[in-house]
A and B are shown apart, each in its own frame.
Chain A
Amino acid sequence: MLDCGLDMTSTLNFLPLPLVQSPRLSNLPGWSLKDGNAFLDKELKECSGHVFVDSVPEFCLPETELIDLSTVDVILISNYHCMMALPYITEHTGFTGTVYATEPTVQIGRLLMEELVNFIERVPKAQSASLWKNKDIQRLLPSPLKDAVEVSTWRRCYTMQEVNSALSKIQLVGYSQKIELFGAVQVTPLSSGYALGSSNWIIQSHYEKVSYVSGSSLLTTHPQPMDQASLKNSDVLVLTGLTQIPTANPDGMVGEFCSNLALTVRNGGNVLVPCYPSGVIYDLLECLYQYIDSAGLSNIPFYFISPVANSSLEFSQIFAEWLCHNKQTKVYLPEPPFPHAELIQTNKLKHYPSLHGDFSSDFRQPCVVFTGHPSLRFGDVVHFMELWGKSSLNTVIFTEPDFSYLEALAPYQPLAMKCIYCPIDTRLNFIQVSKLLKEVQPLHVVCPEQYTQPPPAQSHRMDLMIDCQPPAMSYRRAEVLALPFKRRYEKIEIMPELADSLVPMEIKPGISLATVSAVLHTKDNKHVLQPPPRPTQPTGGKKRKRASDDIPDCKVLKPLLSGSIPVEQFVQALEKHGFSDIKVEDTAKGHIVLLQEAETLIQIEEDSTHIICDNDEMLRVRLRDLVLKFLQKF
């Protein structure tokens, strides 16, 4: 199984979970059907024309119907965002396999899961809505609830216990490490340049190579750069995890982010940045580190609020070997690789596990707050949205591309604060993909259908699709696709003692052949040629052995022949041996030598020779021996 991501956009259909009681949210009117029927008003609430489920947010799991997940042997994880559904798979499907991921992926993935669990668990909600999921009722609901797919499979968040159990099934791997899977294939993670520890995977047998490219970046940010060279010579390249916002250039967006932040703060407003606790936030903090002095923001406090804020900031500094070269060299100076260490030291950046406690006493405005969750449905961000939403001086700047910012904002309407959308997605865009594909030249590219056509809203943008030769094979949800290669060869090892016994014979310059008699031993998808067991000496008795005692039939083999028959010389040889009246005819495939007197026909073709004579075995054998003189035997 390649990756194990969790679709969190389902949470956008739910009401936010406020950290403290929100009179506004609790007083939202219940939703009733057009005919006035209000049986759903406890479950569904209406806010500014949108309907939300008033319940603990639920998540959309990976496809579970198509295959029996208990039969999955291995899960390969690309990056920490792509493992968020792991507890659902490992704990509830009978999964007994192994999960492979790099160390930073596991550690930061754990932080993301921990944050998620914490956000949900710390505001327990008694109510659980399920009535609306009834298919007959769902049909009556307004969009987008009406169009939500497979709502019955939506699940509540997992627990910390499940997280720990899931993570214990992960086997840590390093970049370029070769891992044998049941002897059948070898898998290798490669740096993908997107996040700390993010990987692409190579899955290869002896003669076939499949690359799985997911969530990669060619931009120079904090992680180790993408390893492109190792992707070369792939039979198939499975490509996914491209940028979600191909029209937004990350550099431009960072500029936008900084400018809007500075403008807001200068006017006395606060800036709220809904974000994940790891990833782009490191780059943003680094940008701000360089920017705040030039923008005259040195005195503005930056707050990072997350249950895992401290761990995230500290982890980032210790994964030196997973960082880009510049940051790695800093470690040897020794200096912290990320400048946020200095921001913390100089008190410009402060971090808190939550807005309770120290934060409330340190809190000073105007300020900039980085906090989760980017969906605006749970986490400390909900509080800040409620707190600052009423003032037009404040700004919320969306940087994470995973959620539609308009949908995220829907339950907070009407909203006075400014909203800026600066999605920063460093993953590959289509120009970079086309350069990458030109560079690594896979025989076939397989990708989601969406990548093979321009986005529906910009159908004229031919540049926003994968353009490669041969055209990419696309797949859609729940489609089964046969990868375009056939396994033609298997590698077989030969035991040294058997190899010793071989007597190769050169049949052409540079080509030697030898016959082998051996036993093919196959176990765990590995094939070995072993010397055949010695034939037991015949005991002389006539007692017939039992069939099960039979050793392989080792009767003396006829020699193998090679070479070709020169017709003229062959005719001369025939004449020498007393055949006369010989006629040669050329055919499409070779020649026919006609011995008219003997009423015999010798067909000589490239790969066969037939002697056709009428019941004269003596003659046939004579002719056969003559033919054999022209061929090599071994």
Chain B
Amino acid sequence: MDPECSQLLPALCSVLADPRQPVADDTCLEKLLDWFKTITEAGSSLLLLQENPCLLGLLCHVLKPQDLSPRVLAFSLRLAGMLAAQEDCFQYLQQGELLPRLFGEAGPLGGAAWTAPSVRSGWIQGLRSLARHPSALCFLADCGAVDTIFSLQGDSSLFVASAAGQLLVHILGLSLQGAAEGHPGLQTGDWPVCAQKIVSHIEESLRSAATPQITQALNVLTTTFGHCHNPWTQVLWVRLSPLVACLLEKDPVPAAHSLVDLLLSVARSSVLSSSSCGLWETLAQTLSHLSPTQAGPLALGILKLQECPQALRAQAFAVLLQPLTCVLEATAQAPGLLDSLDGTGGASVTVDTLLPSKAACVGLLCRTLAHLELLQPLPQRPSPWPQAPLLGATVTILRLCSGLATPTSDAGGHLCAFLVGCVRVQRAALDFLGTLSQGTGPRELVTRVFAVLLEYLTSPDSSPTVLKKAFQATFRWLQSSPETPGCSDLDPHAQLFLRELLPVLPKRLCSPCWEVRDSGLEFLTQMIGHWGGQAGFRRALLASEVPELTEQLLRDPESYVRASAVAAMGQLSSQGLRVTPASPEHPGGRQKSLLAELLRILSTDSEGFPRRAVMHVFTQWLRDGHADVAGDTERFVARVLQVASQDLDWEVRAQGLELALVFLEQTLGRPSSHCPYAVTPPVAAPPSPLAQALRPLCRVQLFEFAFRALFDCDRPVAQKSCDLLLFLRAQTASYSGPQGSGSVPEVASVEAALQRWQAGDQGQPLGYLEPEVVVAVLRSMDLEGLRGVLAESSDRVEKSPQSLLQDMLATVGALGEDEADCY
């Protein structure tokens, strides 16, 4: 510990011990504990106590009957536990009987302070830290802590209850660490007393008729099997699994969610799943006993297991698919689909489960779709994957939601009434439909997919979020549609779809709802990015009103829409799809350059998003050699950097550096590496005209921009600039220009200006710099040092323990500085 901190600690301890000086902020105590944790982890706790007797004083002091705040008491308990984690310190504290007084019946446990959840939590966390060595186990047994922990499992505070459960798991693991490790065959009857006590308690809870107790026991077991993979867990499971199986015989199955968690935790445990201990049978039994709502997560968990019997997987998949089977059945789809989806014939059960209420029906369908969506991309997903029936069911659900499907049974009619206009199900189904685009499907079904997507994109009733999902799913399906052999154009069906879709898009771009305009533009940008070069798409797009409307949205009142319009226009222009105002179809159109319009947005838009979008577009244009830029690149870069340097949004300035880097790479004639900031020594000396090459950079005032950014008040900008300058310096490392050509006084004046900039006075511009001066300045600067400083977080000073102690003392006025003011 620093001597400065050691000096401050006694004062702090007395402040903490003083009930008249309440500690206002919990986070200070947390930080203090963090600090003690680092100290105790790095060195001896005993030494810490001996060197700082005030700590022991504090621990003794809190035991006195007084009106101490619960948070200080909780802090002391946690500190004591942390110190006692080392056995020698534990013994030291035991000598003074301090630990039994803190954690035993005589301590806060019996007092009024125990009513505060923070004290109970502190007590548990203290014991959790303390329980690290065999002596601690004896201590726990002697002071009767385990019984208290049992009762705290049902605590009114969820945090306390959960911590109590975890502590039990920890104690069980600790007590078995030595005893059972060497003897994997050791039966529970031979386990240490403490472990036996916990196991008996769990057994008793599992036999209980009260669901909360069963839940507690199941949660403890779930954590145990989740964290410990020692052989003794297998012994434990063998002993307890009959009791767990008994739960399945009750109707309804109590604590079903916790039971599912436990079984999955056991199944994931490498020790247990590999051995035959009836686990798979229990899982199969559970699947068939639980309701579809409860069984869904279990089925998903089983299907996600790496190794699992095929029959169980099939059963789990059938359970997962039941709701969709029910949907298909209710709408009388082709029986072939039903067969492949439903292997169990349990669909009739699900109809009842699906239909009792709208909430149950919607919830179950949403969960099922979400589970299947998670399952779809996994390598261990069931094979064969029933792509076609799943597509059929999802399309049917979407059609039911929009009132298009015609159910043929009463159940179908009810289903339709529940689902019509249900946004939750629509969103879930569209998400899943998008995921299903990864697979193929029969042509007829794919046509149905596109038809339902078009219906959603067209319908005025589609909510903005549903529409966004419909756009996303559409893009994914278009992406996955096979390309025409021989050329990379869309296949004829997708082309046909596109022809129907493009008239819808203008309407969406004119929607009064900005979210809709925004998702329309995002979709458009994606589409152009993907198919902008393909003739069929280009023709269809140019024939529509979309490009013109997109340009109009550059002046949308909503900033997000403007930003999306900027991105879309950038793409349109890059692909040569912008309707040129001078074209014969638009003879009266105003001649206006997009570059000028984007520059206007960059310099005048009041919101950051459109300006950031413009910078992205400009960077991309520069990278791609866009025609508007290529004409006079230097002028373009100079103008953009000038505007960006004055922007109040740090992301715009950072993006300016990105653009500068692209320009720099292009100017120096180096292809950009995968890691543009990697400082690598040049392989060969650059050609002598490096100074010549640097001149354009000087002309566009790139250095002025970069140096300004180097001292930017926003750290990411400064870091980026630092990296850029380091990169540049590496590029010019071998430059051996005529010595002295950058006159010393000029370099000195630039350095002086930079120092002023660093001090916060950025008023004076640097003006035009000669390449030689730039190189000289770059070499003289301690850029590595600066990078080191920038890499540290900005609150490094405030985070020091000394600062923490000072702050805590200052808040209670114990530093004595302001004493005079008190009078």
Question: Inside 8 A of A458's CB, which chain B residues have their CB?
Answer: 403
A290 touches B403 (CB 8 A): no
A287-B406 Cα distance, complex, nearest whole Å: 35
Instruction: Given A252-B460, A260-B507, A263-B506, check contact A463 B417 (CB 8 Å).
Output: yes
Q: From known contacts A253-B460, A462-B413, infer whether A259 and B557 are also in contact, taking CB-CB under 8 Å.
A: no
Q: From known contacts A460-B413, A463-B420, infer whether A290 and B461 are also in contact, taking CB-CB under 8 Å.
A: no
| B301, chain A: closest CB distance, angstroms | 35
- When the two chains form their complex, are residues A290 and B412 in contact, meaning their CB atoms are under 8 A apart? no
For residue B545, which residues in chain A have a CB less than 8 angstroms away from its CB?
263, 266-267
Q: Is the CB of A255 within 8 A of B511?
A: yes
Rounded to whole Å, the gap between the CB of A489 and the closest CB of chain B is: 39
Closest Cβ neighbor of B461 among chain A residues: A252
Interface string of B337-356 (1 = CB under 8 A from A): 00000000000000000000
CB-nearest residue of chain A to B462: A252
| Known contacts A267-B545, A293-B557, A296-B555; A422/B460 CB under 8 A | yes
- The closest CB in chain B to the CB of A265 belongs to B510
> Which of B421, B510, B513, B514 counts the most A-chain CB atoms under 10 A from its CB?
B510
Cross-chain contact A256 with B460 (CB below 8 angstroms): yes
- Whether A460 pairs with B512 at a CB distance below 8 angstroms is no
Q: Which residue from chain B places its CB closest to the CB of A291 in the assembled complex?
A: B512
CB distance from A453 to the nearest CB of B (A): 12
- Judge whether B558 and A296 touch: CB under 8 Å: no
The yes or no answer to B414 lying at the interface (CB within 8 A) is: yes
Q: How far is the CA of A252 from the CA of B516 in the complex (A)?
A: 12
- A295–B459 Cα distance when bound, in Å, is 20
Chain A window 248-288, contacts with chain B (Cβ cutoff 8 Å), 1 for yes, 0 for no? 11001111101110110011000000000000000000010
> Which of these, B420, B512, B555, contacts A461 with CB under 8 Å?
B420
B555 contact set on A, CB distance < 8 A: 296
* CB 8 Å contact bits of B391-419 with A (1 = contact, 0 = none): 00000000000010111000011101100
Contact of B549 among A248, A266, A291, A467 (CB under 8 A): A266
Mask, B618-640, CB within 8 Å of A = 1, is 00000000000000000000000
Main secondary structure, interface of A, reads helix
* CB proximity to A under 8 Å, residues B403-450: 403, 405-407, 412-414, 416-417, 420-421
CA–CA, A315 and B74, complex, Å: 69
Q: What 0/1 pattern do residues 533 to 571 of B give for CB contact below 8 A with A?
A: 000000000000100110010011110000000000000
Q: Does any Cβ of B come within 8 Å of A294's Cβ?
A: yes
Residue contact B406 to A258, C-beta cutoff 8 Å = no
Instruction: Assess the A249–B416 pair: CB atoms within 8 A.
Output: no
Q: Which residues of A contact B405 (CB under 8 A)?
A: 460
B512 touches A249 (CB 8 A): no
Most chain-A Cβ atoms within 10 A of its Cβ — which of B414, B417, B512?
Answer: B512
| Mask of B511-527 contacts with A, CB within 8 angstroms, 1/0 | 11110100000000000
Minimum C-beta distance from A265 to chain B (A)? 10
Cβ of B512 and Cβ of A252 under 8 Å apart? no
Given known contacts A267-B545, A460-B412, A460-B413, is B516 in contact with A294 (CB within 8 Å)? Answer: no
- Chain A contacts for B549, CB-based, 8 A: 266
Asked if A345 is at the interface of the complex by the 8 Å CB criterion, the answer is: no
Give the interface size bracket for A toward B.
20 to 34
Among B403, B412, B545, B548, the one with the most A-chain Cβ atoms within 10 Å of its Cβ is B403
B507: which of A247, A259, A296 is its contact (CB, 8 Å)?
Answer: A259
State in angstroms the CA–CA spacing of A254 and B510 once bound together: 12
In Å, the complex CA distance between A479 and B555 comes to 60
* Minimum distance in angstroms from A169 CB to a CB of chain B: 43
Distance, CA A9 to CA B545, complexed state (A):
38
| B511 surroundings in chain A (CB, below 8 A) | 255, 258-259
Q: Most chain-A CB neighbours within 10 Å: which of B407, B513, B514, B558?
A: B513
- B495-512 CB mask vs A (1 if < 8 Å, else 0) is 000000000001110111
- How far apart are A295's CB and chain B's nearest CB, in angstroms? 6
Q: Which residues of B contact A253 (CB under 8 A)?
A: 460
Contact B420 A259 (CB under 8 A): no
Residues B416 and A461 in contact, CB atoms below 8 Å apart = yes
A422 to B507 alpha-carbon distance, docked (Å): 14
A253, A254, A256 — most chain B CB neighbours (10 Å):
A256
Name the CB-closest residue of B to A258: B512
**What CA separation (Å) do A267 and B513 show in the bound complex?**
21
Check if A262 sits within 8 Å of B510, measured CB to CB: yes
Question: Contact: A460 with B407, CB < 8 Å?
Answer: yes
Question: Are A462 and B414 closer than 8 Å at their CB atoms?
Answer: yes
Separation of A263 and B549 alpha carbons in the complex (Å): 9
Say whether A462 contacts B417, CB under 8 Å.
yes
Q: State the CA gap A624–B332 with chains docked (Å).
A: 80
Q: Of the candidates A266, A294, A296, A431, which one forms a contact with B512 in the assembled complex, judged by CB atoms under 8 Å apart?
A: A294
Distance A183 CA – B34 CA, assembled complex (angstroms): 81
> Which partner residue on chain A sits nearest B412 by CB separation?
A460
Contact residues in B for A293 (Cβ distance below 8 Å): 557
Contacts of A460 in B (CB 8 A): 405-407, 412-413, 416
Question: Residue A259 contacts which of B414, B416, B508 (CB distance < 8 angstroms)?
Answer: B508
Q: Report which residue of A249, A254, A259, A263 has the largest number of chain B beta carbons within 10 angstroms of its beta carbon.
A: A259
- Report Cα–Cα, A460/B399, bound state, in Å: 13
Closest residue of chain B to A454 (Cβ to Cβ) is B413
Complex CA distance for A253 and B462, rounded to whole angstroms: 11
Q: Pick the contact of A254 from B403, B508, B512 — CB < 8 Å?
A: B512
In the bound complex, residues from chain A placing their C-beta under 8 Å from that of B516 are 255
Chain A residues, Cβ within 8 Å of B417: 461-463, 467
Most chain A CB within a 10 A radius of its CB, from B460, B461, B506 = B460
Q: Smallest distance from the beta carbon of A460 to chain B beta carbons, Å?
A: 5
B513:A294 contact, CB within 8 angstroms: no
A252 x B459 contact (CB < 8 A): yes
Task: Pick the most buried of A254, A263, A458: most chain B CB atoms within 10 A of its CB.
Answer: A263
- Which A residues are CB-close (under 8 A) to B557? 293-294
Verify B416–A294 contact, CB threshold 8 A. Answer: no
Contact A255-B403, Cβ < 8 Å, known A266-B549, A294-B558, A462-B414 = no
Chain B hits for A290, CB < 8 A: 512
A255 to B510 alpha-carbon distance, docked (Å): 9
Q: Which residues of A contact B407 (CB under 8 A)?
A: 460
CB <8 Å contact, A249 and B461: yes
Q: Of A249, A291, A296, A467, which contacts B460 at CB under 8 A?
A: A249
CB distance B460 to A255 under 8 Å?
A: yes
Known contacts A460-B407, A462-B417, A463-B417; A294/B460 CB under 8 A: no
A517 to chain B: closest CB distance in Å? 60
What separation, in Å, do the CA atoms of A291 and B407 have in the docked complex? 40
Residues of A within 8 A of B506 (CB): 263
* Minimum CB distance partner of A288 in chain B: B512
Nearest CB of chain A from residue B455's CB, rounded to whole Å? 13
Q: In the complex, what's the smallest C-beta–C-beta distance from A459 to chain B, in angstroms?
A: 9
Known contacts A460-B416, A461-B420; decide if A259 and B512 are in contact (CB<8 Å): yes
In the bound complex, residues from chain B placing their C-beta under 8 Å from that of A258 are 510-512
Chain A residues whose C-beta falls within 8 Å of the C-beta of B556 in the assembled complex: 294
Q: How far is the CB of A268 from chain B (nearest CB, A)?
A: 10
Ordered by A's residue number, 20 sampled pairs between the chains whose C-beta atoms are within 8 Å are A248-B460, A249-B421, A252-B460, A252-B462, A256-B507, A258-B512, A260-B507, A263-B506, A266-B510, A266-B545, A266-B548, A293-B557, A294-B557, A295-B512, A431-B421, A460-B412, A461-B416, A461-B420, A462-B414, A463-B403
Chain B residues in the interface with A (C-beta under 8 A): 403, 405-407, 412-414, 416-417, 420-421, 459-462, 506-508, 510-514, 516, 545, 548-549, 552, 555-558
Extra contacts, 8 of them, besides A259-B507, A462-B416 (Cβ < 8 A), are A249-B460, A255-B516, A256-B460, A258-B511, A259-B512, A260-B510, A263-B545, A287-B512
